[in-house]
Amino acid sequence: MSYTALYRKFRPDTFDDVKGQEHIVTTLKNQIQADRIGHAFLFCGTRGTGKTTVAKILARAVNCEHPVDGSPCNECETCRAIQTGTSMNVIEIDAASNNGVDNIREIREEVAYRPTQGKYKVYIIDEVHMLSTGAFNALLKTLEEPPSYVIFILATTESHKIPVTILSRCQKYDFHRISIETISDRLSELMEKEGVSAEERALRYVAKAGDGSMRDALSLLDQCIAFYLGQELTYDRVLEVLGTVDMEVFSRMLRKVLAGDVAACIHILEDLLTNGKEMGQFVADFTWYMRNLLLVKTSDDAEDVIDVSSENLKALEEEGQMIETDTLMRYIRVFSELSSQLRYATQKRVMVEIALIKLCKPSMETNLDSVLDRIRVLEDKMENGIPMAALPQGASAAGSHLAGTLEAQPEAEVKKPEKAAPEDLQKIKSSWNNIVAKTEGLFKTFLSTSTVKYNGSTGENKLFVEFSNDLAQKCIEDPEKKELLEKLIAHQIGKSVEVEMLLKKENKHQELADISVDDILKQAVHMDVIIEDEPEEE
């Protein structure tokens, strides 16, 4: 006899055998026991969670001659006929290939005939979201008022594609992703029945790779057993078959990234490629490893939210002390973006190498989290006694850090900026968004809607910041806000300027005018800037 795959061989026969869907199983059993069976069911959920299996069990249960606690006995003539596929009362339809109006019309004609055996005629329509619009419309009337002996069971992985008119006529059941613990226990149970020796750690990893799908986990387990037929299934062997990477490699990779050692990171990646590891799987697993590391740093009860062994948890706690949360979040962001791009990339290795270089060299990015990482690198260099030249421009992105840096420098080292000239006000206006971006909180919000002006009659070297929001009064009265804004402007243009903040409704300087940046544009493009008036609408 030919070999039967594990997921087919151990497909549940009763409701009690279904794992991880107790909320659905209990409801269906109660309906059968109380004889309150609905006429239309919609089973939704990701692949491998038991939709079709539960549908077949339900089809047998409603027709079973001797049901046991709401489940089919699987011994009567009706149950055996349905199991072998010879029953005319249970019709399975694949909507992916039978999605036209004519296919649904055939169903409408068939429901007029009573079942030849049993109580109910059951139609199981799999992947029902693939039906055409016309087919859905043809199904509506029959689904709403079917004969008393007809039950429809619709199964789909994409419930959002089902028309509302269909949804409102069905009892909807959402199949959840199955937990790693539940899948692991099921795999261990089946391995005992198969007489295969397997490490608990190996089965847990297979369960995790199943991503909430019992069928996927069983298929992966089948693959691992076939590769090492007659041998014990160990954790290392599972990693080798699935093309994944051990946690120890991730630990070495992270340490090299924190040290900024690009060459070492590339060598580790080269070793993984030589051993046949798949790049997409490496990126996914390394992202998951950093996710666990982040949870260890931010959660008080990490063992409750992270599915790793106590040994690995202890290693994660030790490594968590080596890295800051902001840095770790940047690493996760870079690799998450890489994961979505890698799917359609032809040069996957090159993209992974670029991502690793980004992690090692935060100066390649301009995001705020990369700026904080650059500050970390500079602080490490200072602590290790490595001399630094001038402070990089990117390291002073946050206004609060900038203010502290300027105050910490001796007066002899800080060159006092020269007084701003009127043309410098244009430079402030042209880079106003950059200045505002370096502030924080409500002050940043109010500045983003403010207007910078100058005294048009006197042309004095003074910048007026006009707020339109009355709530900005507290910021106006705060001398620290004024001082911070002046320091940010001085750092941006290299010259000092006096700032006065005021509310628009209380503006006593009627001669204030908006600052034009035409001269700046002319210098940049070396040509006159012509501003055309828009034609008036007739």
Token duo for residue 378: 């500079």
Closest among 75, 78, 62 to 29, alpha carbons compared: 62
The pTM score is 0.57
Instruction: Give phi and psi for 501, each to the nearest 5.
Output: -105, 140
Residue 513's DSSP bridge partners are 454
d(Cα 504, Cα 517) in Å, to the nearest integer?
A: 22
3-state secondary structure 103-149: HHHHHHHHCCCCCCCCCCEEEEEECHHHCCHHHHHHHHHHHHCCCCC
Spatial strand order of the sheet with 90-94 comes to: 90-94, 121-126, 150-156, 40-45, 171-175
Q: What share of the chain is helix, strand, coil (3-state, %, to 5)?
A: 55, 10, 35
pLDDT in tens, 449-478: 888 888 766 667 788 888 887 778 888 888
Length, in residues, of the chain: 538
State both tokens at 412.
């002899």
- The vertex-109 CA angle with 104 and 113, nearest 5°, equals 130
- Three-state DSSP class for 28? helix
Contact 115, 121 (CB under 8 A): yes
Residue 298 CB contacts under 8 Å (≥ 6 apart), including other chains: 325
How many other C-beta atoms are found inside a 10 Å radius of the C-beta of residue 449?
11
Give the angle subtended at the CA of 358 by the CAs of 354 and 362, to the nearest 5°: 160
395 DSSP 8-state letter: G
Amino acid at 12: P
Q: What are the backbone dihedrals phi and psi of residue 17, each rounded to the nearest 5 degrees, phi first?
A: -80, -15
Give me the sign of the Cα torsion angle 402, 403, 404, 407.
positive
Burial tier of 79 (Cβ tally within 10 Å: 0-12, 13-18, 19+): buried
Among 491, 475, 497, 510, smallest CA distance to 426 is for: 497
Bridge-partner residues for 465, per DSSP? 452, 501
Cβ atoms within 10 A of the Cβ of 352, count?
A: 24
CA–CA–CA angle 300, 302, 306 (5° rounding): 155
Per-residue pLDDT of the chain (538 residues; tens, 9 = 90+): 477 888 888 899 899 889 989 999 999 999 999 888 989 999 999 889 999 999 999 999 999 988 888 889 988 988 999 888 888 889 899 888 888 888 888 888 888 888 877 789 999 999 999 999 888 988 888 888 888 899 999 999 988 899 999 999 999 999 998 988 899 999 999 999 888 888 888 898 898 888 888 999 999 999 888 888 888 888 888 887 876 666 788 888 988 998 889 999 999 999 888 877 788 888 888 888 888 888 888 877 766 667 666 667 778 888 888 888 888 888 898 888 888 888 778 888 899 999 999 888 877 766 655 666 667 667 666 666 555 444 444 444 444 444 444 444 444 444 444 444 467 777 888 888 888 888 887 888 888 888 888 876 666 778 888 888 777 888 888 888 888 888 888 888 888 888 888 888 777 665 677 776 655 545 554 545 445 555 555 4
Half-sphere exposure of 468 (CA within 13 A, CB side): 6
Beta-bridge partners for 451: 466
User: Which DSSP letter does residue 410 get?
Assistant: -
One-letter-per-residue 3-state SS of 186-226? HHHHHHHHHCCCECHHHHHHHHHHCCCCHHHHHHHHHHHHH
3-state secondary structure of 485: helix
Q: Which residues, including other chains, have CB under 8 Å from residue 85's CB and lie 6 or more apart?
A: none
CA triple 531-537-538, angle to 5 deg = 140
Report the distance separating Cα 3 and Cα 11, nearest Å. Answer: 15
319-341 pLDDT, tens digit each: 888 888 888 888 898 888 888 88
Nearest to 222 by CA among 2, 1, 7: 7
